[in-house]
């Protein structure tokens, strides 16, 4: 009897593992590795103090690398080495004054509702190419409920990169430190303030 119970337990465990998605397997493997990847891009990193983020972006702007995004609420970087020029707007989320997630939105500069060549589904391969150059290959396509837009994900240690078609224009990317559980949402950007992001915060 005990042998049968043990056999059933092993069988149930095997079935449960087999039913796990590729994403769940990757997540379990990477989180169990204990390896940390804190780099994001452009010298930004998880755990970076908010004050250092603003100083760093100010320096990147001084060097001519980035400028102000729409309504001065994001930081804008542009790519010109693809078939169509594209923009990347980014701004982090903070937990206890330190970066734990980076929100990024990509779009083609010449996007228009009538220009299907510049829609987000055509943009996604370029975005994935950029991310693979930064973080390496290994993104997997997520199969979600029928009717959902496409999404891709990669997990390296504590760092998850999630890519989604936000709408017809934008591809959204979220780069998250999975070891941080935010206690509250912080909204440090002051609405209606026309100054650059790095000038909106009191020293």
Q: What is the mean pLDDT of residues 59-73?
A: 92
What pLDDT, on a 0 to 100 scale, did the predictor assign at position 70?
Answer: 86
Local structure of residue 97 (DSSP, 8 states): T
**pLDDT band of 81, cuts 50, 70, 90:** very high
- Looking at the structure of the chain, the number of domains it has is 1
Q: Does residue 159 carry a pLDDT above 70?
A: yes
What pLDDT, on a 0 to 100 scale, did the predictor assign at position 183?
Answer: 78
* Runs of H (alpha helix) within the chain: 2-19, 22-33, 50-62, 120-135
What pLDDT, on a 0 to 100 scale, did the predictor assign at position 13?
Answer: 40
Task: Provide the domain limits for residue 167.
Answer: 22-199
* Contact by Cβ (8 Å): 164, 106: no
Q: In this structure, is residue 103 part of a structural domain?
A: yes
Q: In this structure, is residue 70 part of a structural domain?
A: yes
Q: In this structure, is residue 160 part of a structural domain?
A: yes
Q: In this structure, is residue 194 part of a structural domain?
A: yes
Residues 51-62: pLDDT tens digits? 999 999 999 999
**pLDDT band of 168, cuts 50, 70, 90:** very high
């Amino acid at each position: 009897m005990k042998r049968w119970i043990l056999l059933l337990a092993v069988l149930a465990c095997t079935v449960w593992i087999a039913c796990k998605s590729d994403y769940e397997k990757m997540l379990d493997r990477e989180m169990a590795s204990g390896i940390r990847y804190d780099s994001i891009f452009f010298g930004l990193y998880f755990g970076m103090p908010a004050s250092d983020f603003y100083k760093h972006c100010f320096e990147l702007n001084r060097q001519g690398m980035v400028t102000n995004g729409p309504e001065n609420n994001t930081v804008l970087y542009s790519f010109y080495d693809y078939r169509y020029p594209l923009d990347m707007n980014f701004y982090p989320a903070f937990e206890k004054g330190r970066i734990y997630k980076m929100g990024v939105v990509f779009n083609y500069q010449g996007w228009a509702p009538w220009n299907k060549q510049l829609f987000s589904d055509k943009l996604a391969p370029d975005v994935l190419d950029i991310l693979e150059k930064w973080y390496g290959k290994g993104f997997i396509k997520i199969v979600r409920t029928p009717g959902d837009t496409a999404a891709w994900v990669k997990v390296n240690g504590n760092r998850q990169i999630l890519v989604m078609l936000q709408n017809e224009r934008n591809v959204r990317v979220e780069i998250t430190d999975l070891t941080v559980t935010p206690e509250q949402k912080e909204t440090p950007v002051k609405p209606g303030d026309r100054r650059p992001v790095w000038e909106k915060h009191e020293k």
